[in-house]
Structure 1
Amino acid sequence: MEQAAAAPRPAAATGKRPELAGRRRAPFPVRRKVCRFCAEKVRDVDYKQIQILRTFMSDNGKILSSRITGNCARHQRQLGRAIKRARNLALLPYVVK
């Protein structure tokens, strides 16, 4: 049995996409978001401050992640607890329709 000489494989067969080969960097660096509570030197997040808590919720009523809001881990935990307490006391809705 004779084997044919190995021909160079096309780019699609190698799994690499040719249009992404010469990819450039973003025109400007992405700035790290700063925790709003740390910047304002807020020690504890209060469940009674409904207007502040609403800014950290999506349109559907879900708690936004720290990657989106820029909160540090400590304040993100406090924020989650405060939103859950406010929901339990009927200050915030569980689901927004």
Structure 2
Amino acid sequence: MIRKKLGRNKKNRCRFCTKEGCPRPAFVDYKDVGSIKKMCTNQGKLYSRKRTGTCSTYQRALGVAIKRARFMGLLAYVGE
């Protein structure tokens, strides 16, 4: 019986980067609540880079955007 390697060849790519690389300055819009919610757990924590596939510059920018959205009241600090 042949075993298949499930999901080992698939590598997460940064959804904010282009084919040329990371555009500078790295900016994630805090008003785009739909895409920011995908990067948070149901408890309100930020997913890791390994899970989301974002690069380090955009992971930092995403953290800042989440903090801004929480301060403005667009996102909750804690989950349901």
TM value normalised by structure 2: 0.78
What value does the CA root-mean-square deviation take over the aligned residues?
Answer: 2.2
Higher relative contact order (CA 8 A, sep 6+): 2
Q: Percent identity?
A: 39
3-state SS of 2:16 partner = helix
Write out aligned runs for 1:6-45 (5 A): 27-28=5-6, 29-39=8-18, 43-45=26-28
Q: Runs of 4 or more off by more than 3 Å in structure 1?
A: 39-43
What are structure 2's unaligned runs of at least 5 residues?
none
What are structure 1's unaligned runs of at least 5 residues?
1-25
Normalized per residue, the structure richer in helix is 1
The size of the alignment, in residue pairs, is 73
TM value normalised by structure 1: 0.65
Write out aligned runs for 1:3-82 (5 A): 27-28=5-6, 29-39=8-18, 43-82=26-65
